[in-house]
A and B are shown apart, each in its own frame.
Chain A
Amino acid sequence: MIHLILFCLFSMTSFAKLVIVTTTTDIQYLVKQIADDKAEVSCIVKGTQDPHFIEAKPSYMVKLQKADLLVSNGLALEIGWLPNLILGSRNPKINSLKPGHLELGQFVQPMDSLPATATRALGDVHPEGNPHFMLDPIITAELGFKIAERLSELNPENKGFFQSQAQKYQQRIQSQFLAWKSRVQKTKIRNVITYHASLNYFLKRMELSAPLFLEAKPGVPPSAQHLLKLIDLMKSEKIKLILVDNYFDAKVAEKVAAQVPGAQVKSVGISVESDKNLLKSEDVFEQLVQAIEEK
């Protein structure tokens, strides 16, 4: 009888799925590619929400209480709400530096890092660097291996499966990336304007750049003086494309575009599920490439 009970308990443990909570939909999608059916993966921030401005709703604490693993972005993207959610969840497994909390930002060489002398006079800055690395297809594919490593620690029996999933994902993304980059290069576009610095990693990977943003400083709505400077720059550098994250209001961008002959505004989703047609990271990258091609 005891053997039967032990067998049942062992079986339950072996086949119990890991419960994983991610902060953003991009991370949720990546974790699902690696864990497949070996985990239940849910997310806190909706694809249509700006992850900088999430409220620490107690219902998220209930979700985190049940988590075996929390996968967060890091680089201070969630600093305004995640610490309180972790504390309120009363789940010691997901405390900082525990195996149940994986912060992806630690593995990334961040863009736009600021010197220690930076102050908030620069706006709502991230001193550790730009946290929007999930918009770089190559970085996301590399992070797949870090997720596979952590999943293997928590579920060693499936180590081989997780590694193989990470490799498959990387191969898939790398082949698509070459096609995306080739299409972008054919457009001959080298500079675009974006609302926030959220597309910097994507632009760099595609050998594009954003010399100025619509917002004067991070988190600070644009002033009239800043917009005039932007219009002058677009005219002098012949920049004809403004990409606006679809959770920002595109009205300001449209006013600017109206002052620059031939300029267009494209409202783009920058995360998985930010639009009903963007169900995968590949859909997000494809949509960004199309937005540049269609100019």
Chain B
Amino acid sequence: MQFHFLLLVLLLSLPLQAQQIKNLNAGINTLLLYQSSNRGNSALSEVRNGLDLQETELQFTADVDPDWKLSSFFAVKKEVEVDTSVIPKTRTEEFIFEPEEVFAETLSLNRVTLKFGKFKAAFGNHNKFHTHAFPFIDAPLIQQNLLGEEGLNDNGASAAILIPANWYSEVTLQVLSGQSEGLNYFKSNSANQNVQLLQLKNLWDLTDDTTIELTGSGANGKNTADRTTNLLGAYLTLKWRKDKSKSLTWNTEVMERQNNQASDELGTGIASYVQYQVSQRWWLQARGEYLKIKNQDLTNLEPLPSTQKKYSALVGYIPSEFSALRLQYDHLEDGSDSPEQKLMLQMNFSIGAHPAHQY
């Protein structure tokens, strides 16, 4: 923890020196979250009701030389552990400091970008987002339950190739270690067994204002039982933007995980959302989700609900590119006696370099 603290102080001092390093883009994003849930009142709840620091992210990017760019993203957030194996059960929490992504990518190759390091894998729609850029305050059920709390984020190598075509068509090949924290559905016992991933992304301009994107991804690798885990995902996104104060996005993502370990567990799910920008500063959003898990591994100490349905509604007030206030209501049916009802209010602040926005 002392080492983490010193590293944090060192990194926080970097933005002050950024003026001297002309091309270093440094930024800090902070998320504050107030939540109230009918399941958040227990002393042992993983997520408690009240106001909390959700996450602070430190971002540093710069061209290394004409051939390479280095990007680093570090997160400071609270990690909660509830130990149910002892009597009475215990709950501990502490702030942790961890690298979310640290990778180098090429700048000087024609049609291809090579990337090396720790990064968010090119799998599905939601997996690419950092917490402050999530379309909703929380990640969808398929992301949380099939890819894990941290998503498919791992050490590896990547090649993203722009295919010669009249529309945007990109094929991405990645090799990942499968050993990072949270990837319990891989974690082969052999260091030589990697995870292979393939993604094909296509985007067409329907009109000057409207685009449609269709992307499919697949990954597989050996797991701890020395059997194979397969991931499949696809998403469709329709975007319309009239001007800076009117836009509409509809995204639907499906995902499947075949986790063949002690049992042949099969998880499938769908998440679909609409984001409507009412005016320059106001957004209205709605999301519906469904997740089903069959043949769960009985060795899992905390089995997931076999079926989950969730409905969310969100109102966003975004006065500038650097701050946002979002209010979200969730209704979750997961087979418990009563559904979870949750209200969340998130404040999002960014300082530092002007971010270049992803489409």
Contact = CB atoms under 8 A, between A and B. Distances in A.
Interface stretch (B50-58, B145-153, B255-263, B350-358): B350-358
A195 to B, nearest CB: 13
A43 B211 CA distance: 18
B211 A57 contact: yes
A87 B208 CA distance: 22
A59 B203 contact: yes
Contacts of A171: none
Interface in B315-359: 319-322, 351, 354-359
B64 interface: no
B303 interface: no
A56 B358 contact: yes
Interface stretch (A10-18, A45-53, A102-110, A146-154): A45-53
B107 interface: yes
Interface in A65-85: 65, 76, 79-84
A293 B45 CA distance: 70
B357 A55 contact: yes
Interface in B187-217: 203-205, 208, 211
A56 B108 contact: no
Given A56-B359, A80-B354, A219-B320, A50 B244 contact: yes
B356 A80 contact: yes
Given A90-B109, A90-B113, A90-B162, A221 B168 contact: no
A53 B244 contact: yes
B354 A46 contact: no
Nearest to B203: A58
B354 A59 contact: no
B263 to A, nearest CB: 41
Interface residues of B, number: 38
B166 interface: yes
B160 to A, nearest CB: 8
Interface in A236-259: 247
Contact of B356 (A59, A83, A95): A83
A21 B319 CA distance: 32
Contacts of B109: 90, 92
Contacts of B168: 58-59, 61-62
B108 A92 contact: yes
A91 interface: yes
Nearest to B352: A120
A95 B23 CA distance: 14
Contacts of B166: 62
A92 B110 contact: yes
Contacts of B204: 59
Interface string B233-245: 0000000010110
B280 interface: yes
B60 to A, nearest CB: 15
Nearest to B319: A220
Contact of B354 (A76, A87, A88, A89): A76
A31 B111 CA distance: 26
A124 interface: yes
Contacts of A220: 319-320
B208 A56 contact: no
A121 to B, nearest CB: 11
A50 B243 contact: yes
- Number of contact residues on A: which range applies? 35 or more
A63 B320 CA distance: 29
A144 to B, nearest CB: 29
A100 to B, nearest CB: 12
Nearest to B163: A62
Q: Which of A50, A52, A57: most chain B CB closer than 10 A?
A: A57
B44 interface: no
A50 B355 CA distance: 18
A59 B167 contact: yes
B66 interface: yes
Contacts of B203: 57-59
B8 interface: no
Given A50-B244, A92-B108, A59 B211 contact: yes
B112 interface: yes
A120 B354 CA distance: 10
A56 B357 contact: yes
Nearest to A247: B243
Interface in A82-132: 82-84, 87-92, 95-96, 116, 120, 124
Contacts of A61: 162, 168
26 contacts: A53-B244, A57-B203, A57-B205, A57-B211, A58-B170, A58-B211, A61-B168, A62-B166, A62-B168, A65-B111, A80-B321, A80-B354, A80-B355, A80-B357, A83-B356, A84-B356, A89-B162, A90-B111, A92-B110, A96-B63, A116-B19, A124-B321, A219-B320, A220-B319, A221-B281, A247-B243
- For the complex of A and B, list the 4 residue pairs with the smallest distance between their C-beta atoms, beginning with the closest: A58-B168, A53-B244, A83-B356, A92-B108
Interface of B: 19, 63, 66, 69, 107-113, 162, 165-168, 170, 203-205, 208, 211, 241, 243-244, 280-281, 319-322, 351, 354-359
Given A57-B211, A65-B162, 9 more contacts: A55-B359, A57-B359, A61-B162, A62-B162, A80-B354, A84-B356, A120-B320, A124-B321, A219-B320
